[in-house]
């Protein structure tokens, strides 16, 4: 029951009325229970409702602003990713120009540094993206709870677990540095020593095989030499039959070809590097310059001593023994008889043959001695 009350002074004279609101409960026996300050209670409830509505409006505005900022950040992130792709393409072009101008060694060093910086930047970008998504999700949950009805709202669905990032495709690359070719005359071994570097992006273990092919450019009739010995088709080895390797950074390789007698006719060696699946990673030519010192010539054969030639002398007329007329005069050579002439002819014929055999043996010994010195 609502009622209006009025006041009066003690003399019973009505004075100015003062209105107020009150709530009274009347029982069956006429008992009245008044509730004072009803108007203040109504005003307090109205103010509380108004303040709650204002708070909801403020939170809604803040939510929409945050959502708009998140959309702007997402657009900027998309633009930055597009710029990253453009910069990567430009980087590949610049690296190609660097290889052409300064060689593969400088490009490999630059490529390794850029790869490290790129991986670090990508890690930071992923961390920032994850943090921004978590913050946006938290703000969304808070706004949803503020706008929800008083009855208990259902628990939010669990966030889906992030799908694993796909493994980036590896660009397999290899490089050969410090290439040298040496020859050991004594062992007749042709040896190539070099370093093979793994310059794949991103850096992973590189497996494959290597084949060296020696050639002579200007003379196609000289058969090529493959180390290790593999089948060549069109002058190119088949993958899978070379010297296998497995490297993470770099490794020193040695290729020996025994049984190569001097002089070495090859002037070019080609290095073929194949990936484990058979893809050709590197095909590079190097010059081969093996100096050749011919062996010392054998000493000249000694000339045989000249022998006096036997001249035919007419036989002297036989005379009686002891005749002084038959003897040669003093100061003249005695005339040999026929038997003496035959013996002298036989001796003159045999002596040169014996000297020729000795000279041939000496010549063989000198030649063998010179060859041994050259091989050593």
The per-residue pLDDT for range 155-200, each reduced to its tens digit, is 555 565 555 555 668 889 999 999 999 988 888 889 999 999 999 8
Q: Is 212:239 a contact under the CB 8 Å cutoff?
A: no
Residue-range domain boundaries for the chain: 42-147, 174-287
Q: Does 293 or 161 have the greater pLDDT score? A: 293
pLDDT in tens, 124-138: 667 666 766 666 666
pLDDT in tens, 25-62: 777 777 777 777 777 888 999 999 999 999 999 999 99
State the Cα–Cα distance between residues 198 and 361, nearest whole angstrom. Answer: 60
State the Cα–Cα distance between residues 127 and 24, nearest whole angstrom. Answer: 66
pLDDT in tens, 255-285: 999 988 888 888 899 999 999 888 899 999 9
DSSP code for 158: P
Which residue intervals of 103-180 are DSSP H helices?
104-147
| Class of CATH domain 174-287 | mainly beta
Per-residue DSSP letters for 299-321?
PPPPPPPPPPPPPP-PPPPP--T
């Amino acid at each position: 029951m609502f009622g209006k009350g009025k006041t009066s002074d003690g003399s019973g004279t009505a004075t100015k009325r003062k209105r107020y609101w009150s709530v009274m409960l009347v029982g069956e026996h006429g008992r009245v229970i008044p509730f004072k300050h009803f108007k203040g209670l109504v005003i307090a409830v109205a103010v509380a409702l108004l303040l709650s509505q204002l708070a909801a409006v403020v939170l809604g505005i803040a939510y929409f602003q945050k959502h708009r900022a998140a959309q702007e950040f997402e657009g900027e992130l998309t633009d930055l990713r597009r710029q990253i792709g453009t910069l990567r393409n430009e980087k590949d072009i610049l690296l190609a120009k660097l290889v052409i101008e300064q060689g593969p060694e400088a490009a490999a060093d630059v490529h390794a540094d850029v790869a490290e910086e790129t991986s670090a930047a990508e890690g930071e970008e992923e961390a920032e993206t994850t943090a921004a998504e978590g913050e946006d999700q938290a703000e969304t949950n808070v706004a949803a709870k503020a706008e929800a009805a008083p009855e208990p709202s259902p628990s939010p669905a669990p966030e889906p677990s992030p799908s694993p990032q796909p493994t980036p495709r590896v660009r397999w690359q290899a490089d050969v540095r410090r290439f040298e070719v040496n020859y050991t005359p004594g062992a007749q071994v042709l040896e190539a020593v070099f370093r093979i570097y793994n310059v794949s992006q991103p850096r992973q273990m590189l497996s494959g095989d290597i084949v060296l092919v020696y050639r002579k450019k200007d003379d196609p009739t000289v058969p090529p030499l493959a180390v290790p010995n593999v089948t060549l088709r069109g002058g190119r080895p088949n993958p899978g039959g070379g010297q296998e390797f497995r490297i993470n950074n770099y490794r020193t390789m040695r290729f020996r070809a025994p049984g190569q007698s001097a002089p070495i006719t090859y002037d070019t060696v080609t290095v073929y590097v194949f990936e484990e699946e058979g893809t050709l990673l590197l095909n590079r030519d190097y010059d081969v310059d093996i100096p050749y010192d011919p062996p010392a010539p054998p000493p000249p054969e000694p000339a045989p001593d000249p022998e006096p030639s036997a001249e035919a002398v007419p036989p002297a007329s036989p005379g009686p023994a002891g005749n002084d007329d038959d003897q040669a005069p003093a100061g003249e050579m005695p005339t040999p008889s026929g038997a003496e002439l035959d013996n002298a002819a036989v001796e003159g014929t045999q002596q040169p043959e014996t000297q020729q055999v000795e000279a041939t043996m000496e010549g063989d010994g000198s030649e063998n001695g010179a060859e041994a010195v050259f091989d050593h």
